[in-house]
Amino acid sequence: MIRIAVYACLISWIIAMIVTVLFSVSKSEIARVQKEEEERAKYRRFPGGAANHYVGIETINGVLHFFPDRLVFHAHSFREEIEDWELAYADISAVRLGEDEDKHKLCIEGKNGTVNKFSTFDNEKLLAGIREKLNKDTGAV
């Protein structure tokens, strides 16, 4: 009789632990899904265009977004290990189309001297849009 009571307590304790673990995992999964949805909603509010970002010899596919205060390049979802590239309009010193082998690339030069290169479907239109934003916000080109 005592054995049955011990086994019953042990089994109920194991079931309680399993339920607790499943509940905590589902809670963290819900939080992760909510965070991902908030992230997607943020990017939907400020749509951009498909773009390739050239980083060294690597080309990263994604979307270039125009936020009110900055440019953001967001890699496609299958490249989750890559962090977003961001540059505030106030930190842009020049925007131009590339020269020679880079003539089809949109070059965005930061005030720190780094040049980020992007290839999009309509570089001239994006160039004009970024210049307009720079002239409106900072008075720079």
Q: In the chain, what are the domain boundaries?
A: 1-45, 47-137
4-59 tens-digit pLDDT: 777 788 888 888 888 777 676 667 777 777 777 777 676 666 667 888 998 888 88
Q: Write out the H or E segment, with its range, that includes residue 28.
A: helix 2-45
* Torsion angles phi and psi, residue 83, rounded to 5: -80, 155
The CATH code of domain 47-137 reads: 2.30.29.30
88-106 tens-digit pLDDT: 888 999 888 887 776 778 8
Query: What amino acid occupies position 57?
Result: I
Beta bridge partners of 102: none
State the Rg of the chain over Cα: 25
Q: Which of 78, 72, 83, 82 is nearest to 44 (CA)?
A: 72
Of the two residues 117 and 33, the one the predictor is more confident about is: 117
